[in-house]
Structures are given as structure tokens and as C-alpha cells.
């Protein structure tokens, strides 16, 4: 039954189920009898406006809580930075929530006194937010460390170079690529990760050696010269040796 079903739809569905599950039509079928009792109890709740409102509230909470839409300044994707977001819910109206720096996907934030109103004279309950952090197009996260794939040319990896690495704040930092760096090596940039309290994570840049898709005649000649110089070297020899061990 859809959550927004009106009284007429609920009554129609109930009558059909009651007719199909009635004990007179299911003699000896205990499952049908139990089901008949359940739908009778459910209809008693859903046909009463006050009980229906309570049921809808509980149903919403069981499916992850009140649904909010984010808007206003800072309402984009909170996560590593922090920020203040404005949330809007049909049940609770507008709620301002501060998202702390370093919040993790799935982390819960408690907003005291921002929940539903309690019994007459009682304080409002708390609002529990479950944070969903959007994926970043460049950066990943490993604990308090940020991760990214760092493309480097074959020449930079083979001969060594100093290259720029983007940072989360939109800037960049230089990192040294040592001569002979293989694809897959991780370069650690201290203190460039997630900030949580007094702790600062690192930025882990994983080297990805880019193979050129098109070669000039000069580049092809240079690579062929290098290949000739390496004649007789098999980079897979150790792999096969380990495989046979």
C-alpha cells in the first residue's frame, strides 16, 4: 500500500483482502486466519485519522527517518570540509545543522531538541541525522587520509620529476617522483588529508604511468632505441618463477 494512499483506496484494499482471507473461504488454513486478523488490526489503525498520522510518522522513521532536502549556503555536499546546511522537512520545517569537519559516510549527528514534539509539557525530542557523503570526482577517502590517482608520463616516471598534485581546497602541492617509479607506487603527502580536531590525515597519491596513445616519429624512434638496449631482459621472468614455486 503506498504511503500516500487515501481513505477510499485503503478501504477498497482492505475489503478485497478480507474477502480473500476470510476464514469461511480458508477452512483449516491457519496462516490465512492470522493474516485476516492482521489486516483487520491494520485497517483499524489506518481508518482512524489520528492513528494514521502516528503510523505514517513511525513508517517514515523506519525507512531512515524524516526526509529532508538540503538547501541554502553550504547545502551542497558536506563531508571533509565542514559546513552548515539548511534542511527542510514537511514534518519538522526548516532545520539548520552544522556538519563537523571530517564527517564520515553513515555517521550520525544528534541535534538536541530538534525532533518531534513530545507529550504535552514535555520537551521536543532529538533529531538524528544520518550523513551520506557524495563521492568526489577526484578524491577518495581512507580513514582520515585522502586518496587520488596521479597520472605521470613515462618520462617522468623513468627519469624522475617534480609534479603538481591537486589538493582538496582547490590548490596544489609539489611532490617528487623518484627516477624509476613504477605505476601503483603511493606517494604520501603529510598533513594534506582530512582534518578532525587536532588530527590531520595525509594525502596518498597513487602513481599511474600514462602510456601515450599516439607517438611522433621521433618518440617512436626513441622508444625503439630503448627497447633495443633492453634486448634480452624479460620483466615477467620473476613472475613465472614465483608462479612455478
Using CA atoms, how far apart are residues 32 and 22, in angstroms rounded to an integer?
8
pLDDT of residue 78: 35
Residues 6+ apart with CB under 8 A from 157: 177, 180, 181, 182, 183, 207, 209
- Give the CA count within 13 Å in the CB-facing half-sphere of 140: 8
Of residues 239 and 21, more confidently modeled: 239
Predicted local confidence at residue 122, as pLDDT: 76
C-alpha cell at 221: 624512434
What pLDDT is recorded for position 210? 93
pLDDT of residue 188: 96
Do the domains 69-130 and 140-228 sit in the same CATH topology, yes or no?
A: yes
pLDDT of 136 reads 84
Domains in the chain: boundaries: 7-62, 69-130, 140-228
Whole-angstrom distance, CA of residue 154 vs CA of residue 91:
58
Which pLDDT score is estimated for 58?
41
Which class does domain 7-62 fall in? mainly alpha
CA atoms within 13 Å, Cβ hemisphere of 67 = 5
**pLDDT of res. 46:** 66
Of all residues in the chain, the percent with pLDDT exceeding 70 is 80
CB atoms within 10 A of CB 71: 13
Question: In the chain, helix, strand, coil percent, each to 5?
Answer: 30, 25, 40
Among candidate residues 79, 207, 203, the one with its CA nearest the CA of residue 145: 203
More confident residue, 119 or 73: 119
* 165 pLDDT above the threshold of 80: yes
Strand, helix or coil for residue 97:
strand
DSSP designation for 3:
T
Evaluate if residue 75 carries a pLDDT over 50.
no
Structure confidence at residue 108 (pLDDT): 84
Average pLDDT over every residue of 127-141: 83
> What's the CATH number for 140-228?
2.60.260.20
Q: Which CATH architecture has domain 69-130?
A: Sandwich (2.60)
> What is the spatial distance between Cα 167 and Cα 146, in angstroms, rounded to a whole number?
9
Amino acid at each position: 500500500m503506498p504511503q500516500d494512499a487515501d481513505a477510499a483506496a485503503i478501504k477498497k484494499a482492505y475489503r478485497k483482502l478480507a474477502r480473500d482471507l476470510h476464514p469461511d473461504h480458508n477452512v483449516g488454513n491457519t496462516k490465512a486466519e492470522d493474516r485476516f486478523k492482521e489486516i483487520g488490526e491494520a485497517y483499524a489503525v489506518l481508518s482512524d485519522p489520528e492513528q494514521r498520522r502516528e503510523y505514517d510518522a513511525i513508517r517514515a522513521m523506519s525507512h531512515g527517518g524524516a526526509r529532508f532536502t538540503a538547501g541554502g549556503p553550504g547545502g551542497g555536499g558536506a563531508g571533509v570540509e565542514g559546513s552548515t546546511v539548511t534542511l527542510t522537512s514537511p514534518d519538522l520545517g526548516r532545520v539548520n545543522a552544522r556538519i563537523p569537519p571530517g564527517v564520515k559516510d553513515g555517521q550520525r549527528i544528534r541535534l538536541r531538541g530538534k525532533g518531534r514534539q513530545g507529550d504535552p509539557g514535555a520537551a521536543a525530542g532529538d533529531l538524528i541525522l544520518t550523513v551520506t557523503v557524495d563521492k568526489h570526482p577526484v578524491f577518495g577517502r581512507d580513514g582520515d587520509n585522502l586518496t587520488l590517482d596521479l597520472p605521470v608520463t613515462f618520462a617522468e616516471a623513468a627519469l624522475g620529476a617534480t609534479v603538481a598534485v591537486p589538493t582538496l581546497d582547490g590548490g596544489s602541492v609539489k611532490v617528487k617522483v623518484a627516477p624509476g617509479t613504477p605505476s601503483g607506487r603511493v606517494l604520501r603527502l603529510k598533513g594534506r588529508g582530512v582534518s578532525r580536531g587536532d588530527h590531520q590525515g595525509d594525502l596518498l597519491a597513487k602513481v599511474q604511468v600514462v602510456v601515450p596513445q599516439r607517438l611522433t616519429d621521433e618518440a617512436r624512434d626513441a622508444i625503439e632505441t630503448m627497447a633495443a638496449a633492453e634486448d634480452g631482459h624479460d620483466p615477467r621472468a620473476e613472475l613465472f618463477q614465483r608462479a612455478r614455486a
